[in-house]
Structure 1
Amino acid sequence: MARITSNTQRALAVAGSATVVALALSACTSGGDTGADAASDTLKLWHYESADSAMGVAWAEAIEIFEDETGATVEFEEKSFEQIRSTASQVLNSDEAPDIMEFNKGNATAGLLASQGLLTDISDAVAEHGWDDKLAPALQTTARYDEDGVMGTGAWYGIPNYGEFVTVYYNKDAFADAGLDVPTTYDEFVDVLDAFAAQGITPLAEAGLEYPLGQLWYQLALSKADRQWVNDYQLYENPVDWNGEEISFATETLAQWVDAGYISKDVSGIKAEDAGVSFINGSAPIFVSGSWWYGRFVSEIDGFDWGVFSMPGSDLSLGSSGNLWVVPERAANKDLAYQFIEITMRPEIQALIGNNGGLPVAADEADITDEKSLELIQAFNAVNEVDGLSFYPDWPTPTFYDQLVAGLQEVVNGTKTPAEVQEQLGAEYEDYAGDFR
């Protein structure tokens, strides 16, 4: 397979049929507005959060504050994720570009647009407002991109004001009925899985048809990894040993857990929704998945008490910032965009995100009045305090999600050995990542 060697080719891999226009635009600063519309008192804003989501509620309040304090009007358009993803390159290269919009973080998304000159370098605004002081190191990673669009270094191209991470959800009632305590070591975690399996209960809600199984695989690798390994895997700092301890442990453990009855033998045909529902209805007592499920569990679980704990034996966890506020290079009112970002980072807006089921990046825990929300936020903050956020397994290449899903299905079905799958995944990974070293 030919290597992807240009930004245009990478864009085609990500956007599929979407037309991608890559222009060499002149370098910009995060300074004031330019052009004929610079004096406009309207902020054109796009995002794709639903009105009743944590971010939707908080950002609606931010809009009201912005209009009251600036006298400007916000022209808000709710776009779908797919609308923004598939048309971003065309729209941002036109006079239809908004002044500020929510955009997905990562090399293949925000990084790609930054490398094409379609996003504003907002480094000066970050320094002026001190946004870098409010963001933990791992949260900053997805906001900065180098000239190739690789995250982690270079200029600032976005600001996240919420986060996300993967944790262990557990059924407290099921644990109590089985006489089990929350495990604090990896061996104790395996003992818990074994105890449920001995009772004829498949302990782990899992999905091999979509993302959850790959995230569990990556979490197992992280339990043997350190920050340098994460940087090598995600940021291409050094070659990754696909037969090393980290990946070998993860792949071999998945196969063992299926054989031991900890994961259903039918996992290859199970979707994420089905896995989540099996936890909601009490069929499976443990679910390793993301904070994006938390609000739904609060709303839908009424038959048992539940909680969360970090994966025992690992200081590293899957997760990252949420999506980014980005300012298009062709935005007419950049200074107004920076004022709006600043409002979304204020304590009262951060508290609104937190009290409505989201994960604020700069909230005071004392402002979180909802007990269940506080539990999640404290768990997220604990991960950030040890610089534990380690992103997601499919991020390194635009096509790695599908490749990882297919490879792990081979492992759990027994159609390929862990070593064979690792060799295959390693070749696919290196075919892309090798271009950045």
Structure 2
Amino acid sequence: MRRSKQLAGSLAAVCALALATAACAPGGSTTGGAASSSASSPVSKDVAGAGDVTLTVWDQNTDGGIDDAQGKLNAAFEAKYPNVTITRVSRSFSDLKTTLKLALTSKTPPDVVQANQGYPDMGSFVSGGLLRPEDDYATLYGWDTYYPQQLLNLNKFSADGKDWQSGNLYGVSQTGEIVGVYYNKQVLSDLGLQVPKTIGEFEATLPKIKSSGMLPIAYGDVEKSPGIHLYGITQAAVAGSQAVNDLVTAKSGAWTDASSVAAAQKVQDWAKAGYLTEGANGISRDDALADFDAGKAAYHIDGTWQLATVSKALKSKAGFVALGPDGSTTPVTTGGEGLAWAITTGSKHPDVAAAYIDFITNADAAQVLIDTGNLPTVPPADWKPTAGSLEADVADEWKAVNAGSGLVPYLDYSTPTFYDTLSAAVQQLTAEKLTPQKFGEQLQSDYGSFVKTK
């Protein structure tokens, strides 16, 4: 989830404006024949036998390390299968959310897309019949045993798109993800501060950092998705994993519960105290990250997809930690895995699409991802990053969060409209246009209406 800004390929640039009216979308396979969308049809690994194929792929792998990895993997796939040409369209996360449905419903949809899990995107696409179930390919390629069941469930939906984490498999993911706190080791050391492990310890460092003249948290939310992460890690560490998991999956709880409101209060207090970048709602995520990378802030809250970028900028000064509840030694944070690689029902060559997905997500691809500064969904058992490095921090925190059952879903999965509701509400919260209580009530209004329909 959650990338930066880029269009890849001249076709994307030519069609960008026209996509707004769905008049032009990068197409699927250029060879003729009816679309093969039934998961009950025989499936095959024979890519060469498909003849000449142009495979159109939409992704949001625009950040430095993952963009490098995707480029290498695409080139390697084309080298292995010279009959296949990949047309890559790479967009930011927010741009992908805006344009992907239009592309999927066009006359020439892409073959492979990255679909965000949860109700807003994957659930909507499934209910609209736009994604092909991949259970047969999961058996063919062994995805059903390679991936932990918990991660497979995040990419599952009932055929009507109403029940998340059960039913058919609609994709597999390439990267593991958790959101945490990147920190500047030199800044903390100079101020005599220990690396915080809990939300209380983190909060206790903020006034001392501010009084030193250093910005505590480099934060920009013009794209709105960073706000989900800011609130998400705070709520996770305040409420705990069980409460947040039950809330997002509609098992129990409400967004007006005391713990969720208390998390909102913390976020607003940080903004009031000047612990966040001033005017953050008008600052881009990339600019905030650049400030942190330049040593202008002690912390930056972001996902593990920024590993390569931060490591390149700060080198040995960079650290990463996932916070836990006060009194706990287990980190609890938001995350899971990268967007699911899905096959569209409009693809004329689903076998080739499935082979591509397997190629960019399998054990060999995991090593390419590691070599380019990324966290693969299933890291190799013998992966041991250099001790003390940012890579080691990320690997250790990923293992600790999973081992301690401290992983909670991204909050925007909660309802079909929750991404817009939550991201707008966080902006109003940090701008002091909503009280924490009203913030919770605004989220609950969206959530409650949806839960009633389930």
TM-score bracket for the superposition, by shorter chain length: 0.7 to 0.9
Summarize the Cα distance change of 1:345–1:414 in structure 2 as closer, same or farther, 3 Å threshold: closer
Pairing partner for 2:342 from 318, 323, 326: 326
Q: Is the 8 A contact 1:44 1:98 kept in 2?
A: no
- In the TM superposition, what whole-angstrom CA distance separates every residue of 1:59-87 from its partner, at most 9, and x where no partner exists? 4324434x2xxxx7212111243576143
One-letter code aligned to 1:220: T
Using the alignment, how far apart are the partners of 2:50 and 2:278 within structure 1?
A: 60
- In the TM superposition, what whole-angstrom CA distance separates every residue of 1:343-393 from its partner, at most 9, and x where no partner exists? 334322210011102221123153567765454334323323334332323
Specify the alignment match of 2:249 in structure 1: 235
Q: How does 1:8-19 map to 2 (within 5 A)?
A: none
Specify the alignment match of 1:107 in structure 2: 119
Q: How does 1:213-362 map to 2 (within 5 A)?
A: 213-238=227-252, 240-264=253-277, 266-301=279-314, 305-313=317-325, 315-362=331-378
Q: Is the 8 A contact 1:43 1:337 kept in 2?
A: no
Specify the alignment match of 1:167 in structure 2: 180
Q: Is the 8 A contact 2:264 2:429 kept in 1?
A: yes
Identity of aligned residues (%): 26
Deviation of residue 121 (structure 1)? Answer: 1.7
Using the alignment, how far apart are the partners of 2:360 and 2:226 within structure 1?
A: 31
- In the TM superposition, what whole-angstrom CA distance separates every residue of 1:284-303 from its partner, at most 9, and x where no partner exists? 1011111232222233346x
Summarize the Cα distance change of 1:30–1:375 in structure 2 as closer, same or farther, 3 Å threshold: farther
Summarize the Cα distance change of 1:256–1:99 in structure 2 as closer, same or farther, 3 Å threshold: closer
Specify the alignment match of 2:7 in structure 1: none
Q: 3-state SS of the aligned residue for 1:258? A: helix
Q: Is the 8 A contact 1:220 1:249 kept in 2?
A: no
Summarize the Cα distance change of 1:365–1:285 in structure 2 as closer, same or farther, 3 Å threshold: farther
Summarize the Cα distance change of 1:414–1:33 in structure 2 as closer, same or farther, 3 Å threshold: closer
Using the alignment, how far apart are the partners of 2:418 and 2:171 within structure 1?
A: 24
- In the TM superposition, what whole-angstrom CA distance separates every residue of 1:274-313 from its partner, at most 9, and x where no partner exists? 32122112121011111232222233346x7111111133
Using the alignment, how far apart are the partners of 1:269 and 1:377 within structure 2?
A: 33
Pairing partner for 1:78 from 48, 72, 88: 88
Q: 3-state SS of the aligned residue for 2:178? A: strand
Q: TM-score, normalised by structure 1?
A: 0.80
Pairing partner for 2:79 from 64, 73, 84: 64
Q: Is the 8 A contact 2:114 2:341 kept in 1?
A: yes
Please tell me whether residue 191 in structure 1 is matched to residue 204 in structure 2.
yes
Root-mean-square deviation (CA), in Å?
3.3
One-letter code aligned to 2:275: Y
Using the alignment, how far apart are the partners of 2:289 and 2:48 within structure 1?
A: 48
Please tell me whether residue 88 in structure 1 is matched to residue 109 in structure 2.
no
Q: 3-state SS of the aligned residue for 1:360? A: coil
Using the alignment, how far apart are the partners of 1:329 and 1:207 within structure 2?
A: 37
Q: Is the 8 A contact 1:30 1:123 kept in 2?
A: no
Pairing partner for 2:144 from 132, 136, 153: 132
- In the TM superposition, what whole-angstrom CA distance separates every residue of 1:139-163 from its partner, at most 9, and x where no partner exists? 2233111133243111111111223
One-letter code aligned to 1:325: W
Using the alignment, how far apart are the partners of 1:280 and 1:219 within structure 2?
A: 21
Q: Is the 8 A contact 1:355 1:368 kept in 2?
A: no
**Uncovered stretches (5+) of structure 1, i.e. residues with no partner:** 1-14, 20-24
**Uncovered stretches (5+) of structure 2, i.e. residues with no partner:** 1-18, 24-34
Deviation of residue 16 (structure 1)? Answer: 8.2
Aligned length: 405
- In the TM superposition, what whole-angstrom CA distance separates every residue of 1:97-132 from its partner, at most 9, and x where no partner exists? 555444443322232222222322221321343313
Pairing partner for 2:445 from 412, 417, 427: 427
One-letter code aligned to 1:57: K
Q: How does 1:207-218 map to 2 (within 5 A)?
A: 207-209=220-222, 210-218=224-232
Deviation of residue 176 (structure 1)? Answer: 0.8
Pairing partner for 2:399 from 344, 360, 381: 381
Q: TM-score, normalised by structure 2?
A: 0.78
Specify the alignment match of 2:28 in structure 1: none
Using the alignment, how far apart are the partners of 1:382 and 1:285 within structure 2?
A: 23
